[in-house]
Amino acid sequence: MIPTEALLAAKLMLVAASMWGASLLARRYGHAVSGAMAGLPVIVGPIMAMLLVDLPAERVRAIALATLACEPALLVHIVVFAHAARRLTWPACSLLATLAYMLAATPLARLGWSAAAASAIALAALVVAARALPFSGSGAAVPVPRSELAWRIGVALVIAGSVMWGADRLPVALAGALLAVPITGSVLPCFTLRLHGLEATVRLMSGFVRGQVGFVAFFIALVALLPLAPKALAFGAAVAAAVSSPLLLGWMERRLLRSGTRGDSGAV
């Protein structure tokens, strides 16, 4: 049994590490890559590992299923923020996106979802969100001052601490909804919109949605395998799915792009 204080400290360290890593990627590769890293289960994955050590597999699977069912609400948050950023300042965008998340997550968390239904709605939401985001260019590396990085990490820790406190004390459905709360997806857009503008924010959000492919794959695998395999094996397979699915998506897109290019060349 992991002590509560140690578990909370480890969770918060993961949040800080994720925010730090995403910000450094923005420095080197731009907002789209930063968003893609933030969209992966780099925070919630290790949290689920700790829960698997501390709780029965059935309880962890129920939380994972509730988190998967709330994926559409997370994507609603991203899309609403991106569109609101066209006209509003970051506090208003954050408020609207958070309200949209709560309105979507509340009914989703209360419904009884099968694994197949939750997986299907999460995958469908990914497709819809990718199409619903405003268009943006590829972008380039951006400066992220140390003072901004410190603020990003500090705000993320405050949000994460609140979410984790509730997730440990609330029923399964609400715990899953809290784990689906986009911590980095809430903090990074606010700083990006204020300091780097609309186009950078949209690139960040587009990357975040791409990273969510790995997030969804992680939870689909975990929900499917926990009843069938030992905890460690199920978690390892979920991590493999999270890492490989964005790579597979990128490979498929490159193949389609090359096929389209060859088709256009042949038609001339």
Per-residue pLDDT tens, the chain, 268 aa: give them: 555 556 566 666 766 666 666 566 656 656 566 666 667 777 778 778 877 887 888 988 998 998 899 899 999 999 999 999 989 998 999 999 989 998 998 888 888 889 999 999 999 999 999 889 886 655 555 555 566 666 566 766 666 666 666 555 666 666 666 666 666 667 778 877 887 788 888 888 888 888 888 899 999 999 999 999 999 999 999 999 988 887 787 777 667 667 665 555 444 4
Which residues, other chains included, contact 24 with Cβ-Cβ below 8 Å and sequence gap of 6+? 144
Residue 268 lies in a domain: no
Residue 132 lies in a domain: yes
Residue 229 lies in a domain: yes
Residue 123 lies in a domain: yes
Residue 210 lies in a domain: yes
**Domain extent at residue 208:** 4-263
Which residues, other chains included, contact 164 with Cβ-Cβ below 8 Å and sequence gap of 6+? 8, 11, 12, 47, 178
Residue 89 lies in a domain: yes
Count of domains for the chain:
1
Distance CA 182, CA 101 (A): 9
Q: For the whole model, what pTM was predicted? A: 0.76
